[in-house]
């Protein structure tokens, strides 16, 4: 019985069929392994690779002289990986003994079937290293960074702090978050299906890129003086809060910004005063503590704002230095009798003396002559309608009458700084423009960014509007304000040998008649070429509340300390020599 040729042919057909399918499957393999290779190998890699992130350190914050205001401390986070635990008891006892935490809690987390449970964060590196050395499988120690503020509460409201993920929460930590935060790196280790790393495969590592450093205009020493002075007067006058800002009026660089009481940046969630804390009000209380009055809150500027009324009137030619005014102790506006702080009246006085006396009826007159339109135009030019654009989050807006609602009474009260509210930062910026020759500056904290990779500094630029007001007006006002300090109501700010300009204010808080005041003083030096401007606000002082009496001396004290420090030398005057010989 033999095999016929058709049988042979059929065997050959079967083989051809097999060959065809074999070729088809090879083609299918080629499709999967060449055309789709990238797709599947990427999926496979993501399956095999366990990414461990390497935290990037956040950029440091420097003061203007290179002192570190915000730094990083290496800390560790401890977690357990359930699938890698071999001896649960060993893991639990090691964690409990080293971290001093509740055994029940640890046990729960260790026994929980999850890919990863975090046991503790912000563990000191030395302690974490001890745990790492135990080499117990299942315990993972990951390095992290925690923000650290070497000076505690200093400049807390400016700097702000960061949250659990090192993200900025308030202050310049927020406004420069994108600059300061780095890019986390990662280690991609190849693991088997259980997640155990396979040492035979090289791990790919992407190094973290540290955040860029920020250089600020803050001067550590000036900030300290300012804070100390503020604390001292707060204590003396048992005030609610005391705000001080010290700035370069020429370019808007802020040397110091304090709003005492400050809070501990290293424990920002701890209230700095005793209060009934409930879950509902906790966040409000904390927000209130973190709030920076200097930029977020508004107040009636009071008499210091006479500077702006004066500037407006001088610019528009409504008054000149030759004008004289008469103060009987009040002024009747429509049906209202608005009193001067000196009820007996200042009598006849020229423009300079009206300012030196801070005479309300004279300024109502000046405001009336300038008119509401002009006053508003200059409010606008000096930035009282806009935010200053300072590089801090949470800047407040001013509260103003609508121009069409401004009647004679409103105009009169606005002329001496009442019936509208502005923020301290708006005010110091406006006055800087008035005294620096008329250039509208942008107040700011950040001055430069240091690139973490190539270490180069990129200066930060801010808008500047030149000649917002005339140079000669600025000069006139400076001169008059110098007189206020040397001979007028601001005389308690005078320092022998220095030419200081300034203006006091005492504003009664709303509602009126409750005896709550904000005493303030704004001063600058040298009066002929201002290099530094300072504003102080004392919120609800007890006892004597006149700005000239309690606020001006604080600025004097600060200036006494910082003027020489800033390289502003006293001029040789007879008073200095008298003092010297007197000793």
Residues in the chain: 583
Q: What does the per-residue mask of binding to other proteins show for 42-71, with x meaning CB under 8 A?
A: -xxx-xx-----------------------
> Could you tell me how many residues of this chain bind other proteins (CB under 8 A)?
40
Closest CB to other proteins among 3 and 322?
3
Min separation Cβ 205 and other proteins, Å:
18
Establish if 510 lies at the interface with other proteins (CB under 8 A).
Answer: no
Q: Rounded to whole angstroms, how far apart are CA atoms 297 and 26?
A: 75
SS3 49: strand
Min separation Cβ 397 and other proteins, Å:
54
Beta-sheet pairing, 213-216 with 61-62? parallel
Window contacting other proteins (CB under 8 A); options: 19-27, 50-58, 345-353, 419-427: 19-27
Closest CB to other proteins among 199 and 283?
199
Establish if 3 lies at the interface with other proteins (CB under 8 A).
Answer: yes
Establish if 28 lies at the interface with other proteins (CB under 8 A).
Answer: yes
- Give the 3-state DSSP-derived string for 264-275, with helices as H, strands as E and coil as C: CCCCCCCCCCCC
Closest CB to other proteins among 52 and 516?
52
Strand partners, 141: 78
Min separation Cβ 142 and other proteins, Å:
24
Q: Which of 79, 156, 296, 303 is catalytic?
A: 303
Window contacting other proteins (CB under 8 A); options: 36-44, 282-290, 394-402, 533-541: 36-44
- Give the 3-state DSSP-derived string for 563-577, with helices as H, strands as E and coil as C: HHHCCCCCCCCHHHH
SS3 382: coil
DSSP label at residue 405: G
Taking CA atoms, 432 is separated from 121, 231, 247, 337, 396, in Å, by 47, 25, 9, 33, 19
- Give the 3-state DSSP-derived string for 155-205, with helices as H, strands as E and coil as C: CHHHHCCECCCCCECCCHHHHCHHHHCCECEEEEEEECCCCCECCCCCCEE
Closest CB to other proteins among 123 and 189?
189
CB of 515 closer than 8 Å to CB of 542 = no
Closest CB to other proteins among 33 and 465?
33
Q: What is the DSSP code string of 499-539?
A: --EEEEEEEEPSSTTS--EEEEEEEEESTTS--EEEEEEEE
Q: Rounded to whole angstroms, how far apart are CA atoms 381 and 300?
A: 19
Establish if 37 lies at the interface with other proteins (CB under 8 A).
Answer: yes
Q: Rounded to whole angstroms, how far apart are CA atoms 562 and 547?
A: 21
Establish if 578 lies at the interface with other proteins (CB under 8 A).
Answer: no
Min separation Cβ 188 and other proteins, Å:
13
* Nearest 10 degrees: Cα torsion 40, 44, 46, 52: -150
CA triple 53-54-57, angle to 5 deg = 135
Q: Rounded to whole angstroms, how far apart are CA atoms 552 and 521?
A: 6
Window contacting other proteins (CB under 8 A); options: 16-24, 100-108, 178-186, 482-490: 16-24
Closest CB to other proteins among 45 and 487?
45
Min separation Cβ 42 and other proteins, Å:
9
Q: Rounded to whole angstroms, how far apart are CA atoms 340 and 364?
A: 10
Residue whose C-alpha is closest to residue 431's, from 497, 494, 477: 477
Window contacting other proteins (CB under 8 A); options: 7-15, 280-288, 550-558, 561-569: 7-15
Window contacting other proteins (CB under 8 A); options: 27-35, 78-86, 160-168, 558-566: 27-35
Establish if 332 lies at the interface with other proteins (CB under 8 A).
Answer: no
Establish if 137 lies at the interface with other proteins (CB under 8 A).
Answer: no
Establish if 85 lies at the interface with other proteins (CB under 8 A).
Answer: no
Establish if 273 lies at the interface with other proteins (CB under 8 A).
Answer: no
Closest CB to other proteins among 41 and 267?
41
Establish if 11 lies at the interface with other proteins (CB under 8 A).
Answer: yes
Sign of the CA dihedral 146, 150, 152, 155? Answer: negative
CB of 220 closer than 8 Å to CB of 69 = yes
Closest CB to other proteins among 43 and 164?
43
Establish if 163 lies at the interface with other proteins (CB under 8 A).
Answer: no
Closest CB to other proteins among 36 and 205?
36
Window contacting other proteins (CB under 8 A); options: 11-19, 207-215, 373-381, 532-540: 11-19
**To which residue do tokens 């797709």 refer?**
39
Interacting positions 188-247 with other proteins (CB under 8 A):
190, 192-194, 198, 201
Task: Respond yes or no: is residue 489 known to be catalytic.
Answer: no
Q: Rounded to whole angstroms, how far apart are CA atoms 270 and 161?
A: 13
Min separation Cβ 91 and other proteins, Å:
22
Min separation Cβ 203 and other proteins, Å:
13
Catalytic residues: 303
Question: Residue numbers of the site for other proteins (CB under 8 A)?
Answer: 1-4, 6-8, 10-12, 14-15, 18-19, 21-22, 25-26, 28-30, 32-34, 36-37, 39-41, 43-45, 47-48, 190, 192-194, 198, 201
């Amino acid at each position: 019985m033999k095999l016929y040729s058709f049988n042979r042919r059929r065997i050959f057909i079967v083989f051809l069929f097999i060959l065809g399918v074999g070729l088809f499957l090879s083609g299918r393999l080629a499709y999967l392994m060449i055309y789709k290779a990238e797709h599947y190998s990427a999926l496979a890699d993501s399956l095999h690779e366990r990414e461990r992130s390497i935290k990037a350190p956040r950029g440091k914050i420097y003061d203007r002289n290179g002192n570190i205001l915000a730094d990083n401390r290496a800390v560790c986070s401890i977690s357990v990986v359930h699938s890698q635990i071999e001896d649960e008891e060993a893991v639990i006892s090691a964690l409990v003994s080293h971290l001093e935490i509740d055994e029940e809690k640890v046990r729960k987390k260790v026994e929980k079937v999850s890919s990863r449970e975090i046991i503790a964060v912000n563990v000191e590196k030395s302690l974490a290293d001890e745990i790492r050395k135990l080499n117990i499988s299942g315990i993972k120690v990951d390095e992290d960074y925690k923000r650290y503020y070497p000076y505690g509460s200093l400049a807390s409201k400016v700097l702000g702090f960061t949250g659990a993920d090192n993200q900025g929460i308030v202050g310049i930590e927020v406004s420069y978050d994108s600059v300061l935060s780095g890019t986390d790196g990662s280690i991609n280790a190849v693991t088997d299906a259980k997640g155990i790393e396979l040492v035979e495969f090289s791990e790919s590592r992407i190094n973290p890129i540290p955040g860029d450093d920020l250089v600020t205009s803050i001067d550590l020493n000036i900030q300290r003086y300012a804070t100390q002075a503020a604390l001292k007067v707060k204590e003396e006058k048992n005030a609610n809060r005391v705000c001080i800002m010290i700035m370069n009026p020429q370019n808007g660089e802020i040397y110091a910004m304090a709003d005492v009481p400050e809070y501990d940046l290293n424990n920002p969630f701890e209230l700095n005063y005793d209060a009934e804390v409930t879950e509902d009000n906790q966040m409000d209380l904390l927000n209130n503590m973190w709030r920076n009055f200097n930029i977020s809150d508004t107040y009636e500027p009071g008499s210091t704002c006479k500077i702006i009324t004066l500037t407006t009137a001088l610019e528009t030619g409504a008054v000149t230095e030759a004008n004289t005014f008469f103060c009987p102790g009040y002024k009747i506006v429509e049906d209202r009798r608005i009193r001067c702080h000196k009820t007996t009246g200042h009598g006849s006085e020229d423009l300079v003396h009206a300012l030196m006396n801070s005479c309300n009826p004279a300024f109502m007159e000046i405001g009336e002559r300038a008119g509401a339109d002009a006053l508003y135009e200059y409010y606008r030019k000096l930035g009282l309608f806009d935010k200053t654009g300072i590089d801090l989050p949470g800047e407040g807006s001013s509260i103003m009458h609508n121009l069409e609602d401004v009647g004679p009474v409103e105009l009169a009260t606005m002329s001496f700084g009442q019936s509208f509210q502005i923020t301290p930062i708006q005010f110091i910026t406006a006055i800087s423009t008035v005294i620096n020759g008329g250039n509208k500056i942008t107040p700011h904290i950040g001055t430069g960014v240091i690139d973490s990779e190539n270490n180069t500094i990129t200066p930060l630029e801010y808008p500047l509007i030149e000649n917002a007001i005339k140079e000669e007006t600025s000069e006139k006002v400076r001169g008059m304000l110098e007189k206020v300090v040397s001979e007028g109501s601001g005389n308690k700010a005078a320092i022998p040998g220095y030419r200081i300009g300034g203006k006091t204010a005492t504003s009664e808080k709303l509602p009126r008649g409750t005896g709550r005041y904000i005493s303030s003083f704004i001063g600058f030096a040298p009066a002929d070429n201002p290099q530094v401007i300072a504003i102080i606000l004392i919120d609800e002082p007890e006892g004597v509340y006149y700005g000239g009496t309690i606020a001006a001396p604080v600025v004097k004290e600060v200036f006494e300390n910082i003027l020489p420090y800033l390289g502003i030398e006293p001029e040789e005057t007879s008073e200095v020599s008298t003092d010297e010989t007197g000793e």
